[in-house]
Every structure is written in structure tokens, then in C-alpha cells.
Amino acid sequence: MLILGIDTSGKSGGIALASGDRDSFHLLESAAIAGGTFSAQLVPTVAALLQKHAFSPEELGGFVVVSGPGSFTGLRVGLSAVKGLAEVLQKPVATVSLLEALASCSEQKDGMIATALDAGRNEIFCGLYELTEDGKLKGEEKLLSHPEFSEEIKKTRPVCLITSDRSVAEMASSIGMRVQEESRPEVALIARLGVHKLLEGNTVSVEALDATYLRRSDAEIFFKGTP
């Protein structure tokens, strides 16, 4: 299956053109997109990658997109682009969260795994995952204050915590948590995880495709509606 992976959740983004099946994955090429240029550069970059490798859009088997957590504006741009492309081409879409991608890097093969990313504002994006019998990750994600995060870790006692943020690693280590530090998941990893979801039919309809912000936007927090 030929797929496109798209990540616009951070300060910079990326697009991956890849192919894979249930047993293999091959990254054809990935391209970075500078922060602040997502809306202008995403679709042209997709077109350039396909043209460079002599593929037509119709040859794509599906799309994989990061659903969150991350930048409100960035996520909206990426998801809107995927919605438009998937609807026109009538191709399936699979979503991958950054917390889920971090969990896939775990050196542990059983037990509960925690993942965490600095959310700013003295808050943390936290994911708690367990490997199911068929080797898949199943879990939940939430936004926690620093004290809530510490309490959650003490209560659930995961076998390890995976993060790409030094501040989170130091906080977890201070409460006795075993920490595995990883780089922020790259778009190639997002694409690899997404291929399996597409092949298994673990997809999202264009109508239901939405971001997993975990945090409400400032507009939602401060808006006061008329009674």
C-alpha cells in the first residue's frame, strides 16, 4: 500500500511518502515543512513528492495524519488538507497520536506504559497504554496539571514513562519513575504506525475526522456566551 503520512502538530511539520504491508515498511522519502508555512506549503509539498517518485494521487492507498495533541492551528491545517484530499480521491484515513507514537517506542513488551509531553502552562499531555494480547496499544490520553500528573503516575505505577521532553523526564525521575527518553516522533514513524491501521481497517471517516486537542482553545476557555 502506498500512503502519505502528514504531521503538522508541532512548530515544524513533515510529510512522508511510504509503502508497506503487514510485514514490511519502506520510506520512499520524507520532507520537512517549516512552521508558519503549513497552509501554503503542505499541498505543494505533497504534489512535489508524488511527482518526484512518478506516482499519481490516484495511486495512493490512504492517508495517515497526526491527530494531536499539539498546535491548534497546525492540527487544523493538516486535518483540513487530509479531509480534502481523502474526499476527492475517495481514500481511507488513519489517525495516530503523538503520545501513541511515543508508546510504540517502548523497550518494555508488557505492562502499562506511560507517555508524556510538555503542554506548557504547567500542564502535561499524558497517555497511559497497555499492550493487548495481539500486540496492539490500548489506552487513554488526558491533560493534567503537574500535581495531577505526579499523582496519576504514583497511582497507576506504569513500568516506564516515555517522553521527548527533558523537563517531563526530570519530573518523572524525581518521583522514582523509570524514564525512557526518545526524540519527538518523526513523520516516518507516524506513517509506519498508520500503514498497519489502514490495512486493518482501523480508519476514520472524513466526516468524523477531527483533532484530539486534549486542551480547550483560549476562545473556548474565555468566551462567555449570551444566556
Domains in the chain: boundaries: 2-97+185-222, 106-181
Alpha-carbon distance of 83 to 208, in angstroms, equals 10
CATH annotation of 2-97+185-222: 3.30.420.40
- The pLDDT value recorded for residue 223 is 45
- For residues 155, 126, 96, 206, the Cα torsion angle rounded to the nearest 10 degrees is 100
**213 contacts 72 by C-beta, under 8 angstroms:** yes
CA distance 112 to 161: 9
Fold of 106-181: Nucleotidyltransferase; domain 5 (3.30.420)
pLDDT computed for residue 116 by the predictor? 97
Contact call for residues 159 and 143 (beta carbons, < 8 A): no
Stated as kind and residue range, the H or E segment containing 63 is strand 62-68
The pLDDT tens digits along the chain (227 residues) read 999 999 999 999 999 999 999 899 999 999 999 988 898 999 999 999 999 999 999 999 999 999 999 989 999 999 999 999 999 999 999 999 999 999 999 988 788 999 999 999 999 999 999 876 665 677 889 999 999 999 999 999 999 999 999 999 999 999 999 999 999 999 999 999 999 999 999 999 999 999 988 865 444 444 444 44
Q: Can you give the pTM of this predicted structure?
A: 0.89
Whether 106-181 and 2-97+185-222 are alike in CATH topology: the answer is yes
User: Which phi and psi (to 5°) does residue 163 adopt?
Assistant: -150, 160
Contact indicator for 30, 15 with CB cutoff of 8 Å: yes
The pLDDT, as a whole number, for residue 61 is: 97
| pLDDT at position 183 | 95
